[in-house]
Structure 1
Amino acid sequence: MTGKGRELADMMERRKVDILCVQETRWKGSKARSIGAGFKLFYYGVDSKRNGVGVVLKEEFVRNVLEVKRVSDRVMSLKLEIEGVMLNVVSGYAPQVGCELEEKERFWSELDEVMESIPTGERVVIGVDFNGHVGERNTDDEEVVLPDDWETTAEVIRVTGRKVLGVSSGRRKEDKNTWWWNEEVQDGIQRKRLAKKKWDMDRTEENRQEYKELQRRVKREVSKAKQKAYDELYTRLDC
């Protein structure tokens, strides 16, 4: 974003874009600032050399902002009320495919946290750079193709979102199976719980090792399930 603010604002004005999610801003801090041409950037970053996310709004919509949730330098969201409609704009920046598993899991967890906090009935727009987490082989020449017409694009996103992501029940997170769960994850979690009970009853080193190993397996299964769910989402959008 360094030196690019006004260029970005000019592009939004020229293309008549009112709301824009941006990633890899590389601006340190948790602020909102004008970038010119009647646009304001809400951003969050912890390092001026990497990551950073933000949402740019046309000035007339700034007064409609009800909440800014800055989760990390990879995930943030804005809640706006526009003509009586609650709109949640989520901006995210996924770790690159080659990053550590722990960093990837943290991103998916943060994105889940934001999605599950949005009440049923409120609209959601997801503007996330999934950074290569698309397609079977994640090769460099892949593209996600969307229709040119915005109304068609919006309908594709809404229909696909309902099919793949489902609708939040509004229950607390610990009481709800997340949308990306599959049979492998559920089975793994059940086996982990049984191993935990076994270790609680008989704290031998063997039982502890068994429980720790199942913990590691569940983490891997969770990561794979989330990856598969988002791949399916983008495959359905590729129409």
Structure 2
Amino acid sequence: MDKINDLSDRARAYPSGDAQGQHPALVGSGQGLSHQNGRVRRKKRAQSVREVRLRCASWNIGTMTGRGKELADVLKRQRINVACLQETKWRGGSDGKRNGVGVVLDNRLKESVIDVKRVNDRLIAVKVIVDDIIFNIVSVYAPQSGCEESVKEKFWNDFDCLMMNVQDNEEVFIGGDFNGHVGRESDGYERVHGGWGLGNRNVDGEALLLAACAFDLAITNTWFKKRKEHLITYKTGHHATQIDFFLIKRRSLCCVKSCKVLPAEALVTQHRLIVLEVKFSVSPKIRKHRRPPKTRWRMLQKEECATMFRNQVVDKMTEMSDMEGKSVNECWNEMAKFIRKSAKDVCGESKGKGLIDRDTWWWNEEVQNVLKEKKVAFKEWQGVEIMNVSLKDEKKALYNECKKRAKKAVAVTRARAQKRLYETLDSPIGQKVLYRITKERERRARYVIHMKCMKDECGDLLCEDDKIKERWKVYFEKLMNEENDWNGILQEAQVNNSLEEVMTAVKGMKDGKALGPDAITR
């Protein structure tokens, strides 16, 4: 995926400027830039601006069952940072048989999540902060045309409540399947409709336009001139429509660089992937301090490393045997320093281990080849003209056969991998692998990783450091100055532990625990 933050250098040498043209004379009044130091000043001005680039996607996936790895491959190949998914059919917000919405973020944005609101199985909102800009990412799955009016009314009421909680200084990306046609012409909705839609407008499309006008949202699909094939978001047989849209605040429409449909992706046969590219200019951000590396104490489980480390420590203890005139703390500090240095040389350092994908840890080359064949068959099927019915049916049958083989290969490979894992559970290695997978699943299931902002007394988000510090100051002043009931008598703590009890407790401590203040494992 693309890097989210890129420095923008807008200083350019045009053909008629620096390289070929004659330099102007010096400016005596001091107004403007002279030819001697003007280039340096322009570069400094350009480097004072940073750009936040995002590639957002919206896709009605049909179902997430068995499609996790393929979806990840598509998003990685298309360099998607944010993906709004519909009809996931996962348990949680729904019964697992219909509806379901979700938001997929790349690794960098996942650490920037500050809030998640799961309204129901048709609405979910994720709040992300990137370089002091707050983005509200909303995934929407509107009721179909055949649903009851009460269901549609409830959906739009929930949508209104969700949008009314968004602050004016926050950005909004709404991607989803609205199951409505906004039409090609704007016809009274010029503020939100760009005039480059598809087909005729219906009642559900009218409701979408009214909601866009109420919250001043622009339907980005209609603001870019595309050929008809790149406007279609839903296609089945001879029926082709535009029902999936991306909405953004009207004032931020100038930041949208492109909104397009990618019809070549083979994961879903009916709905097509929509990609929105945006670019926001922000002030430069101070580089974060890199975490210090950690010693690989687990390497002492190997006999070679343990023997080498033991010999070095014993030699050091022999050298320190006749250290007279030094206190216990001085001796221990010197020994601890040597232990850390020796462990670093023998075991090495780690800067963080890779994450285990909870759905693809059993993936192998055979499964990848089968899925590749399925994708090729899909593209061949979609590439045949509609008029050639016989060839299109033949390609479709070939695609269905490849699809069945892919499902079978995935199921068989996963079952084999799980069987091998179950057989090794009794061994220490198998237990460590299971614990690592379980731990990684728990980490990936978290909605909020780091708290980068906080709310004030009114519930508004504070993102600036000065305001956050002031909020903490007011909070602790109020907390520490509250009067509590106390008789004014201090009671001393009673410590009755004997030396034998302390020694017994120390001997009962287990190995492999967290490091102590001296950074040495027990």
Question: What TM-score range do you get, normalising by the shorter chain?
Answer: 0.5 to 0.7
Please say if residues 51 and 93 of structure 1, whose CA atoms lie closer than 8 Å, have aligned partners that are also in contact.
Answer: yes
Please say if residues 24 and 52 of structure 1, whose CA atoms lie closer than 8 Å, have aligned partners that are also in contact.
Answer: yes
Please say if residues 177 and 243 of structure 2, whose CA atoms lie closer than 8 Å, have aligned partners that are also in contact.
Answer: no
Please say if residues 101 and 140 of structure 2, whose CA atoms lie closer than 8 Å, have aligned partners that are also in contact.
Answer: yes
Paired residue secondary structure (2:126): strand
Pair 1:55 & 2:103 matched = yes
What CA deviation, in whole Å up to 9, does each residue of 1:111-167 have, x standing for no partner?
111111000110000112102354324795333799xxx6144699xxxxxxxxxxx
Which has the larger share of strand?
A: 1
Kindly indicate whether structure 1 or structure 2 has the higher relative contact order, using CA contacts under 8 Å at least 6 residues apart: 1
Q: Give the alignment of 1:25-104 within 5 angstroms.
A: 25-29=88-92, 45-104=93-152
Partner residue in 2 for 1:18: 81
Partner residue in 2 for 1:180: none
Larger Rg: 2
Partner residue in 2 for 1:151: 257
Please say if residues 176 and 244 of structure 2, whose CA atoms lie closer than 8 Å, have aligned partners that are also in contact.
Answer: no
Partner residue in 1 for 2:241: 142
Q: 1:28 to 1:145 in 2, by over 3 A?
A: closer
In structure 1, C-alpha distance between the alignment counterparts of 2:87 and 2:241, rounded to whole Å: 20
AA paired with 1:119? Answer: Q
What CA deviation, in whole Å up to 9, does each residue of 1:190-226 have, x standing for no partner?
xxxxxxxxxxxxxxxxxxxxxxxxxxxxxxxxxxxxx
AA paired with 1:141? Answer: A
Please say if residues 122 and 141 of structure 2, whose CA atoms lie closer than 8 Å, have aligned partners that are also in contact.
Answer: yes
Q: 1:155 to 1:52 in 2, by over 3 A?
A: closer
Pair 1:117 & 2:160 matched = no
Partner residue in 1 for 2:71: 8
In structure 1, C-alpha distance between the alignment counterparts of 2:244 and 2:101, rounded to whole Å: 23
Q: Give the alignment of 1:207-222 within 5 angstroms.
A: none
Q: Give the alignment of 1:173-188 within 5 angstroms.
A: none
Q: Give the alignment of 1:155-174 within 5 angstroms.
A: none
Runs of 4+ in 1 over 6 A off after TM superposition: none
What CA deviation, in whole Å up to 9, does each residue of 1:177-196 have, x standing for no partner?
xxxxxxxxxxxxxxxxxxxx
Pair 1:105 & 2:211 matched = no
Q: 1:106 to 1:65 in 2, by over 3 A?
A: same
Q: Which residues of structure 2 form unaligned runs of 5+?
A: 1-63, 184-200, 206-233, 246-255, 260-275, 279-522
In structure 1, C-alpha distance between the alignment counterparts of 2:181 and 2:108, rounded to whole Å: 35
Please say if residues 123 and 139 of structure 2, whose CA atoms lie closer than 8 Å, have aligned partners that are also in contact.
Answer: yes
Q: How many residues align?
A: 140
In structure 2, C-alpha distance between the alignment counterparts of 1:145 and 1:95, rounded to whole Å: 13
Q: 1:145 to 1:88 in 2, by over 3 A?
A: closer
Please say if residues 180 and 243 of structure 2, whose CA atoms lie closer than 8 Å, have aligned partners that are also in contact.
Answer: no
Please say if residues 142 and 178 of structure 2, whose CA atoms lie closer than 8 Å, have aligned partners that are also in contact.
Answer: yes
Paired residue secondary structure (1:71): strand
Paired residue secondary structure (2:88): coil
Paired residue secondary structure (1:89): strand
Paired residue secondary structure (1:110): helix
Q: 1:88 to 1:48 in 2, by over 3 A?
A: same
In structure 1, C-alpha distance between the alignment counterparts of 2:70 and 2:244, rounded to whole Å: 25
In structure 2, C-alpha distance between the alignment counterparts of 1:81 and 1:69, rounded to whole Å: 15
TM-score (norm 1): 0.53
Q: 1:143 to 1:123 in 2, by over 3 A?
A: same
* Percent of aligned pairs sharing the same letter: 46
Please say if residues 87 and 124 of structure 1, whose CA atoms lie closer than 8 Å, have aligned partners that are also in contact.
Answer: yes
In structure 2, C-alpha distance between the alignment counterparts of 1:123 and 1:94, rounded to whole Å: 22
Q: 1:6 to 1:74 in 2, by over 3 A?
A: same
Please say if residues 97 and 133 of structure 1, whose CA atoms lie closer than 8 Å, have aligned partners that are also in contact.
Answer: no
TM-score (norm 2): 0.25
In structure 1, C-alpha distance between the alignment counterparts of 2:258 and 2:152, rounded to whole Å: 31
- The alignment yields a C-alpha RMSD, in angstroms, of 2.8
AA paired with 1:113? Answer: C
